[in-house]
Structure 1
Amino acid sequence: MTLLHVENLRVTFPTRQGPAEVVRGVSFTLGRERLGIVGESGSGKSQTGRAILGLTPPPGRATADRLEFDGIDLRAATPRQWRGLRGIRMSMVMQDPKFSLNPVMTIGRQLMEAARRTASRAEARDRAMAMLEAVQIRDPARVFGAYPHELSGGMGQRAMIAMMLIAEPDLLIADEPTSALDVTVQIEVLRILDRLVQDRGMGLVFISHDLRLVGSFCDRVLVMYAGRVVEELKAAELAQARHPYTQGLLNCLPRIEGGRRPLPVLTREEGWAL
């Protein structure tokens, strides 16, 4: 089942030299699967994710020949429709929690605000505490009552991930969701995401610089360069990529004894122990 259709997506920002197109004709479909988007900084990965959720910051402008989520034409979505989609059926984990968490609200209040849209107050509090535990926060009660500035970067990242997952959305766009986490917490977060994909049929767009992580965790991979998709392939075949840019990214990985370090093929049972 196809959950998301994106066809000829373009994102443009005005500059002194004229309009600058940062996403240029991106097209793909997403089912109940894990789709990885990789590329260097400035390749258009994050702007692609933001445009799908209608979050292109003004004066930027996003257009598409088709932008459809579960039969809903997002190009014509009203503010009321967006309120019914964002945070409930569609969520996005931003790259930096400092710019995504409300600095004047406690973590618990922000989590409950997300959960209250589909649950009672008591249920929302229970779900908030359970989700904080699920992302391996050892003292969930303390974090529940803390403000964002009282948390470390990694702790804030975990709290933000919990906030986006608490409503169990149908579509999650994760922009470098594990970049600030240590390896053990990273693995636990990946297990949570995998469980939502496998058990609930969630569609996941996983944006990352980490080719090794994307190659072992995702089902398919889009490689972006200068705002365009230059290659699409199965994650298991990433090491056999043909496009020169993808090959260049692979050659940037650490080498062992002078040769290219192969991408690992890991199973869910192995927990993606990278």
Structure 2
Amino acid sequence: MNPLLSVENLRISFPSRRGPVEVVRGVSFHLGRERLGIVGESGSGKSQTGRAILGLTPPSGRATADRLEFDGIDLRKASTAQWRQLRGARMSMVMQDPKYSLNPVMTIGKQLMEAVRIHGGKADARAKSLAMLEAVQIRDPERVMHAYPHELSGGMGQRAMIAMMLVTEPDLLIADEPTSALDVTVQIEVLRILDRLVSERGMGLIFISHDLELVSTFCDRVLVMYAGRVVEEIDAARLSEAEHPYTRGLLGCLPKIVGDQRPLPVLARDARWLE
């Protein structure tokens, strides 16, 4: 079976006073209809990788790849019209904080229905929007349809944003730290929603996070990124058996509630990791 997404030798650079700075350095992976976690420190290139897949590298940046293919479509050669058909319809992205992703002057209902009308036709836009709000476990979808983003709690706003990204039934969902701004109980709810929707709809999910424990329990496979490179790829269930010293170092820095009371170690760096 052909993969849903194929990425080979993805490189992203940005200009600086000293010349171009490469922030993603030769990332390669394949994604089926599964849950792929991408973990690493802040600045390791996780989010830029996700944005490049959707053709959202900032204008100042430059993204190249030997292969960037989605369901048989060469994204490197996609026209503006093709991107318009793909983004929001077959490929979607959930951002970290709904406050910066939802339109503050439009109600949730109008934003949902706009997505349906643009990508899925005008028929039953309202019914589809209400059904999607119910699917993400919003108990009073009619009220939320008439609410503005600032009138929703963080967890409710995140669920509304997930509904907006999924209302067009995309084949690929990129979730960029979708639970980092939420408390633990709401985190669990959001993850259950994503898990159920991925399973029921057969989507491919790229789950970007810095939380190794979360990724190890939620995802099927994990890519570990360091300084723009993938240094290790491993089954999520075997993350505790990782062999690369950087991954081992990240695992060693996780705090423990009971047992070992020694100070957390400082992660040592090695220039050979960049070779």
Structure 1-normalised TM-score? 0.89
The question of whether the paired residues in 1 share the 8 Å contact of 2:155 and 2:186 is answered with no
Where do 5+ consecutive residues of structure 2 fail to align?
263-275
Structure-to-structure mapping, 1:58-207, within 5 angstroms: 58-116=59-117, 117-121=119-123, 123-207=124-208
Q: Which residue of 2 aligns with 1:257?
A: 259
**1:66 partner amino acid:** R
Q: Which residue of 1 aligns with 2:225?
A: 224
Cα distance between partner residues in 2 of 1:16 and 1:157: 38
Question: Post-superposition shift, 1:259?
Answer: 8.5
Where do 5+ consecutive residues of structure 1 fail to align?
261-274
After the TM superposition, which of the residue ranges 83-92 and 197-206 deviates more from structure 2? 197-206
Cα distance between partner residues in 1 of 2:220 and 2:156: 28
Is 1:8 aligned to 2:9, yes or no? Answer: yes
After the TM superposition, which of the residue ranges 201-210 and 94-103 deviates more from structure 2? 94-103
Question: Post-superposition shift, 1:106?
Answer: 1.2
Question: Post-superposition shift, 1:166?
Answer: 1.1
The question of whether the paired residues in 2 share the 8 Å contact of 1:224 and 1:231 is answered with yes
Q: Which residue of 1 aligns with 2:271?
A: none
Cα distance between partner residues in 1 of 2:141 and 2:250: 39
Cα distance between partner residues in 2 of 1:218 and 1:43: 19
After the TM superposition, which of the residue ranges 60-69 and 180-189 deviates more from structure 2? 180-189
Structure 2-normalised TM-score? 0.89
The question of whether the paired residues in 1 share the 8 Å contact of 2:26 and 2:229 is answered with yes
Number of residue pairs matched by the alignment: 259
Question: Post-superposition shift, 1:153?
Answer: 2.9
Question: Post-superposition shift, 1:150?
Answer: 2.6
Q: Which residue of 1 aligns with 2:236?
A: 235
**1:34 partner amino acid:** R
Identity of aligned residues (%): 80
Question: Post-superposition shift, 1:119?
Answer: 4.4
The question of whether the paired residues in 1 share the 8 Å contact of 2:92 and 2:165 is answered with yes
Cα distance between partner residues in 2 of 1:40 and 1:124: 40
**1:109 partner amino acid:** K
Deviation track 1:52-82 (CA, whole Å, cap 9, x = no partner) reads 0000011111110100000000000001111
Cα distance between partner residues in 2 of 1:250 and 1:103: 39
Q: Which residue of 2 aligns with 1:41?
A: 42
The question of whether the paired residues in 2 share the 8 Å contact of 1:157 and 1:180 is answered with no
Q: Which residue of 2 aligns with 1:270?
A: none
Cα distance between partner residues in 2 of 1:156 and 1:18: 40
Structure 1 vs Structure 2 CA RMSD: 1.7
**1:128 partner amino acid:** S
Q: 1:197 to 1:132 in 2, by over 3 A?
A: closer
- 1:87 is paired with a residue of what secondary structure? coil
Cα distance between partner residues in 2 of 1:158 and 1:179: 13
Q: Which residue of 2 aligns with 1:56?
A: 57
- 2:103 is paired with a residue of what secondary structure? coil
Deviation track 1:160-190 (CA, whole Å, cap 9, x = no partner) reads 1111111121001000112233334333332
Deviation track 1:5-28 (CA, whole Å, cap 9, x = no partner) reads 000001111112211111111000
Question: Post-superposition shift, 1:200?
Answer: 2.6
Q: Which residue of 2 aligns with 1:246?
A: 247
The question of whether the paired residues in 2 share the 8 Å contact of 1:174 and 1:206 is answered with yes
